[in-house]
Amino acid sequence: MLPGFKTELAGKTALLGAWSTTRDPVIAEKLALTGFDYVCVDQQHGLIGFDSFVATMTALARTGAAPLVRVARNDATEIGRALDAGANGVIVPLVDDAAQAGQAVAACRYAPAGTRSFGPTRSYFGAGTDPYQVNDAVCCLVMIETLRGMQNVREIAGVPGVDGIYVGPADLALSYGHAPGPGAGAGPLADALQQILAACKEHGIAAGIHTSSVKEALRYLEMGFRMVTVVTDIRLLQIAAGEQLKAVREGLGSL
């Protein structure tokens, strides 16, 4: 755990991150060592079992990149296990109203501030031995991905303890009846993104988003998103392999 990440998240400097979906901790470690501000391990759509997840968190611990986790669901046990494994914070999917946001926040905090169970197998790593110090260091970001979430965006952003809203453009696009993919945050969804940015600004919290290209990342940063995921491990591997293969095949013509 890097206690300073929460302070950085509350600041004005852009934070750039990578997304880890594979079960190999070396891949996550290599991404982190590239210089990203954070690496988020995906337990919702990733291919990661708990054993490989703990190994990945251990690998990330000394890289300088803050280890985050997108948990599979808004569940106290899921959130607690992620934090016990050493996560700096969690990204909680499919949060639709203030009550659900409050539930996520409570799961990140030890009593009396919350409902997190005390099981410090690894949770003290890098954050000291005071559970209330740990409370202050943990980040809780919630995802708005549905029409209901959009209807309640201002109330969600105003829940005490919510450190930011992280946008999943794919599910949000589907909620509006549009296919996900590159550019999903443009067109009819542009207004929704502006509403999210406005709600985050009103309540002084960070706005984050997932991107699929350099062009998208720069556009979202220009819009005002301060936390931007710029690569996903599997997608990056596919793109790099494709470019390499294409270059060699094209080079065959000059041999």
- In three-state form (DSSP H/G/I as H, E/B as E, the rest C), the secondary structure along the chain is CCCCHHHHHHCCCCEEEEEECCCCHHHHHHHHHCCCCEEEEECCCCCCCHHHHHHHHHHHCCCCCEEEEECCCCCHHHHHHHHHCCCCEEEECCCCCHHHHHHHHHHCCECCCCCECCCCCCCCCCCCCCHHHHHHHCEEEEEECCHHHHHCHHHHHCCCCCCEEEECHHHHHHHCCCCCCCCCCCHHHHHHHHHHHHHHHHHCCEEEEECCCHHHHHHHHHHCCCEEEEEEHHHHHHHHHHHHHHHHHHHHHHC
CA distances from 108 to 3, 9, 103, 239 (A): 14, 17, 9, 36
The amino acid at residue 124 is Y
Q: Which two three-digit tokens encode residue 144?
A: 């708005």
The amino acid at residue 197 is L
Give the active site residues.
Answer: 45
The amino acid at residue 211 is T
